[in-house]
Amino acid sequence: MELLENLRQELKNNIDEKTLANGQHFFKESIRSYGVSVPAVNKISKAFFLPLEESGKPAVFALCETLWESGFLEEAFIVCNWSYAVHSQYEPDDFQVFKRWIDHYVTNWATCDTLCNHTVGTFIEMYPVFIQELKAFALSQNRWMRRVAAVTLIIPARKGLFHDTIFDIASLLLEDKDDLVQKGYGWLLKAAADADRQSVFEFVQSHKTKMPRTALPSAGGISYYPISD
Section 153-181 average pLDDT: 95
Task: Give pLDDT tens digits for 5-53.
Answer: 999 999 999 999 999 999 899 998 999 999 999 999 999 999 999 989 8
Is the whole model's pTM more than 0.85, yes or no? yes
Write down the H helix ranges in the chain.
Answer: 2-13, 17-22, 38-49, 57-70, 73-85, 94-105, 109-114, 121-126, 131-137, 143-151, 154-158, 163-172, 179-195, 197-207
- Please, are residues 100 and 135 in contact by the beta-carbon 8 Å criterion? no
- DSSP calls for 79-124: HHHHHHHTGGG--TTHHHHHHHHHHHH--SHHHHHHIIIIIIHHHH
- pLDDT greater than 70 at residue 203: yes
Give the per-residue pLDDT at 213.
82
Has residue 63 got a pLDDT over 60? yes
Domain boundaries, the chain: 1-89, 91-229
Q: Are 74 and 14 in contact (CB under 8 A)?
A: no
Which CATH number is associated with domain 91-229? 1.25.10.90
Q: Is the pLDDT confidence value at 89 over 90?
A: yes
CA 187 to chain centre: 12
